[in-house]
């Protein structure tokens, strides 16, 4: 157990600048990201949104996708398609969210991929 006076301090050389009126964290000037270490922000946002919607439906907040779509102000067809992302195989979700691998399929195609078996999802989504 640590003593109250034992402090670990971690310094990360980042800058915070405003871009379009919003704060943006900038990496150090000498940081060069490699091209193979990219995550698609749209995919991450869509997966997060789908899981949020799934939790709300599981909690009984909405009985149908139509009610959910009306509450979030989006088309029922869009919500239905995006909600499928919450049912992707755990390996696919892990690779897309935790790993640094780009997906082999588009976000639109990934929505339909969720209806396949987990083994097929892994083969098609990331390879």
Question: What are the DSSP E strand ranges found in the chain?
Answer: 15-19, 22-26
* Domain that includes residue 91, residue range: 41-123
Cβ atoms of residues 90 and 51 within 8 Å: no
pLDDT tens for the 127 residues of the chain, in order = 556 667 767 676 777 788 777 877 777 777 666 554 566 778 888 889 999 999 999 999 999 999 999 999 999 999 999 999 888 888 888 877 776 556 667 788 888 888 888 888 888 876 5
Task: Tell me if 19 is assigned to some domain.
Answer: no
pTM for the model stands at: 0.64
Q: Report the pLDDT value the prediction gives residue 70, as an integer from 0 to 100.
A: 95
For the beta carbon of residue 2, count every other beta carbon within 10 angstroms: 7
Domain count, the chain: 1
């Amino acid at each position: 157990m640590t003593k109250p006076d034992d402090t670990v301090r971690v310094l990360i050389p980042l800058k915070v600048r405003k871009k379009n009126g919003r704060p943006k964290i900038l990496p150090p000037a000498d940081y060069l990201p490699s091209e193979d270490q990219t995550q698609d922000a749209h995919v991450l946002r869509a997966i997060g949104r789908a899981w949020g919607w799934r939790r709300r439906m599981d909690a009984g907040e909405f009985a149908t996708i139509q009610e959910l779509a009306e509450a979030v102000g989006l088309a029922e067809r869009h919500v239905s398609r995006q909600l499928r992302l919450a049912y992707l195989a755990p390996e696919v979700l892990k690779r897309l969210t935790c790993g640094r691998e780009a997906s082999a399929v588009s976000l639109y195609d990934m929505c339909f991929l969720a209806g396949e078996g987990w083994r097929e999802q892994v083969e098609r989504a990331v390879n």
